[in-house]
Amino acid sequence: MNNYNGIEKPEIQTLPTMKDRISFLYVEKAVLNRNDGAITVTDARGTVNIPSASLGILLLGPGTKISHRAIELIGDSGTSVVWVGERGVRYYAHGRPLTSSSRLLVRQAELVSNVRSRIEVARKMYQKRFPNEDVSLLTMQQLRGREGARVRAVYRNESKRTGVVWNGREYNPHNFENSDVVNMALSAAHACLYGVAHSVIVAMGCSPGLGFIHTGHERSFVYDIADLYKAEITIPIAFEVAAENPSDISSITRRRVRDAIFDGRLLKDMVSDLRELLLENDSEDNELGVDILNLWDDKKGSVPHAISYGKEDEYEDQELMEDGYGTILEDEE
């Protein structure tokens, strides 16, 4: 077999941290391959070389083909790959997360498993939606009531702004067309937002199923995060599309959401909000880019791996066994 002549896998310490990388890169209708330490992107306009280590998350849209060697380099560089719909809308699948650390995932599990900390995170989420209100002492029931009143007010204001008649949020998730125009537009717009939120969550190494407000569904945390941006993005777009009453509600709505998030600001906001919700301080952010593997310990929290533990116990057990056998032999004599 021929020797492999590719470049060596980089050490984790030599790779740029997440804050020094390009957050997200979207590619569609292109062929991706590898040229030494760079990803080559070839489309109708030509070929561009992109250093793999400079990428945080690579979003692969429709019409993309990627080689095995490109995926190999991306994996070695700690870059996450997410297969998405046109211009980042609609989540389909993902590869490894951006971070090699499980810090965010462990922190998410810790916070959601404790009633007090779970409520605190839920309050942070609601506070982002009520920036001018103090929700620090509200119960979950009070928070849900406040959110319901706010969303209804948003619907009424958008109805007044666009002239679209609003009779409430009514839709059948199994029958898209069994509702009025504005509800169809809302369903299509929210589906796009869920796809984007899902992409960011898995790329950051979090669990889509561990929600703080929503629960019991494999995408509970997706719905939590997406709800932070509905009043700003998807609800206004849905009412604007409904006012035009196009023949293809789903397609037009999806394109409007796509254009609204194409500048990347929403993706950056989601990353920032995730860190703010799950991490206690900025210094913990540095841990996310470190390749650390430890063993869990019920008293110390964690201990180093790749160490042969139990040698002392093994020697003690051996001494006891020898003493025991010696005593038995003496008795027999």
Cite the annotated binding site by residue number.
147, 214, 227
Structure tokens at 102: 């499980």
DSSP single-letter state for residue 175? B
**Amino acid found at 192:** C
The three-point CA angle 324-327-331 to 5° equals 140
**Which residues fall in the annotated binding site for Mn(2+)?**
147, 214, 227
| 297: helix, strand or coil | strand
Q: CA dist 66 to 29, 206, 322, Å?
A: 11, 25, 62
Tokens of 323: 């003493």
Cβ contact 26:200 at 8 Å: no
User: Residues of 122-151 as b/e, b for ≥16 C-beta within 10 angstroms?
Assistant: bbbbbbbbeeeeebeebeeeebeebbeeeb
Q: Look at the chain and count its residues.
A: 333
Q: Which residues in 28-96 belong to E strands, given as ranges?
A: 31-35, 38-43, 46-51, 55-60, 65-66, 80-84, 91-94
Residues 6+ apart with CB under 8 A from 268: 23
Q: Residue 59: exposed, middle, or buried by beta-carbon count in 10 A (0-12, 13-18, 19+)? A: buried
Q: What number of other Cβ atoms are within 10 A of residue 304's Cβ?
A: 10
Residue 95 structure tokens: 């590869």
Specify whether the CB–CB gap between 235 and 228 falls below 8 A.
Answer: no
CB 269 within 8 A of CB 192: no
